[in-house]
Each structure stands twice: as C-alpha cells, then as structure tokens.
Chain A
Amino acid sequence: MSNVGIVIVSHSPKVAEGAADMVRQMVGDTVPLAWAGGNPDGGLGTSVEAILGAIDRAWSDAGVAVMVDLGGAETNSEMAIELLSESRRDHVVVCNAPLVEGSVIAATEASGGSSLAEVKATAEELSA
C-alpha cells in the first residue's frame, strides 16, 4: 500500500485498541494501521518489542507515523525507531499530538495519499 501507515502507542492496550477502532471507522482499510499497548507483562506501560512489531505490521513504503500518549510511550517509540534497519529508520516519525484526535486526523490525512511530512504536520497542528 502506498499510503502512510499509522501506529498507535498507548500505555493502555484498551486505549490503543479503542483509538485504532476510531481510526478504522474513519478511513476503513485505506491506511495500514497497527497498535501497541501495555508493558512486556501486559500491564500499563509500553514495550519496545511490541512497538517494533506494530511498525512492521503498519509498514508502508510511504513511511509510518507513530502516535504516542505519555513520556515512556514517546521514549520507547524513539528507541524502537533507532533499532529499525537503516533502510526503514528514516521513514518513521513520532508525532507530537494528542493520541486519539491525532491518530484519527493523521490517518485521514494519510488516506488522501499525503506524504509522511504532511501527515505529521497535520497531526501536530492539534498541539500548536
């Protein structure tokens, strides 16, 4: 698929899955989408391994925008991006935007074929 992919990372698996449901309702299957929520034991937190898996599932040659909730989600997502292969690393960005609204608006932008930079900018307008 040539549309930018979206990854949703939350401390809570329920929040991540719920936000992903809201994204699907808006854009259907036109955007590659995956979520990661919970620490390696399934409790509240985030997991670098799970984030890497989600980036892989939502992979698109147009790149992947990662939406995060709180501190650790951002730090773990940035760590995950650094662990990606060199060919993928530069095509994944973390967006500084509210998780739910940012995910929906980023996916909507992506569904129109926008570039990764455009998707990121649209999501981050919410924080401006």
Chain B
Amino acid sequence: MADVLIEQLIGVAAQTVIRHADELTELDSAIGDADHGINMKRGAEAVLAELPKLKGKPMGEVLHASGVQLVMKVGGASGPLYGTLAMELGKALPASSTRADFAAALSQAIEAVKVRGKSDAGQKTMLDVLAPTDRAVAAGDAPPAIKARALAAAEATVPMKATRGRASFLGDRSIGHMDPGARSCALMIAAICDALGG
C-alpha cells in the first residue's frame, strides 16, 4: 500500500457513500431515524473537500485528518464511529507499512470502534461487517474475497435483532431489515477493494 494510493482509496470510499446516500437513508428509515445516508454524505463531502489539502502527506496523517472531518461533520453516532476507525488506523499505521502492519493496525482501529460504541459484533451494527473483514484481512485474503465477505456480512445483519443503536428501540421489529451502518461499511470496503484490484 503505497502512500500515493491512500487519497484515492479514501476518495472512492467517500464517493460510494455519496452515491448510495438515498439507499442508506431508506434503510435507516426502516429501523432508525432516517438520517444515515444524509449524515454520511455530509461527512463524505467534507472529507473530499479536505483531501486536496492532504496531498503528499504521510498515510497516517491523511487518515487521521479524514477521521477528524467525519467526527466534526457527520452529526450522528456514525461520525465518531467512522472517525475513530480512520483516526486510529492513521495512528497505528507506520509510515511505510507492510500488509501485516495494515492488518495489525486495522484490528487495533476496530477495537477502538468497539470501545467508542460500547458495542461488539452480534448487535446488528457496522461491527458485524468490520469483524469478518478484519479476519479476512488477517487471513491474507485478496481484495475481491474481502469485498465479497464484507457485502455478505452486511446482508447477514438482515435476520439479526438489534441490541445497540437506535434500531434496538424496535426490539424484534428490527429483524428483517439490513443495518444501515453495516451496509455503509460494506459499501466502503467494497469500493476500496475494487480500487485495490485483484
């Protein structure tokens, strides 16, 4: 993962969120407060506006600065959650990193998201996508396999009952809908994997 790529990867992740904003809001209207797409779009646009200023900066700094934008601009819990993921990833990645460094940094960043959200996999959240993605990256899977795993993991939140986040207020009625945070997470991972190629 060369430094030159990081802006591109963040860029495609932001663009996919913007493209799917309506879908994410629709998912959130079923089991939440109908703002996930709107919020994530606001954050993604802020990140895209920031990226040109970060050209040539070290990968860790670019990730951290992007995370700060998400924290400041999203306006929902997903801001600090995705912001923490990006900021911690930025903090944990050495300047010149190998795949093993990235896998270790990703695990560390996902742990920080769990702490931030006081949550874990199994509660119908973005962590249900992050956890299997973490395992796929650690296992050395190629990008297309990681993408497939992430998208399937989001689909697998459909039959789950939410026990964290706004959807948990619905209890059993949260069953039968895909979690919007899991979906946005899978979409970004898929876009990043596509950009990395096979």
Contact for B80 among A40, A44, A76, CB less than 8 A: A76
- The complex places the Cα of A74 from the Cα of B165 at a distance, in Å, of 11
Count contacts on B: residues with CB < 8 A to the other chain.
Answer: 22
B39 contacts A75, CB within 8 Å?
no
Residues of chain B within 8 A of A76, CB atoms compared: 75-77, 79-80
CB within 8 Å of B: which of A58-92? 70-72, 74-76, 78-79, 83
B76 contacts A45, CB within 8 Å?
yes
A125 close to chain B: CB less than 8 A:
no
B42 close to chain A: CB less than 8 A:
yes
B195 close to chain A: CB less than 8 A:
no
Residue of B nearest to A83 (CB): B71
- The complex places the Cα of A74 from the Cα of B119 at a distance, in Å, of 14
B90 close to chain A: CB less than 8 A:
no
Listed in ascending order, the chain B residues whose CB lies under 8 Å from chain A are: 33, 35, 38-39, 42, 71-81, 83-84, 116-117, 165-166
A41 close to chain B: CB less than 8 A:
yes
B116 contacts A78, CB within 8 Å?
yes
A49 contacts B35, CB within 8 Å?
no
B79 contacts A71, CB within 8 Å?
no
- The complex places the Cα of A87 from the Cα of B4 at a distance, in Å, of 37
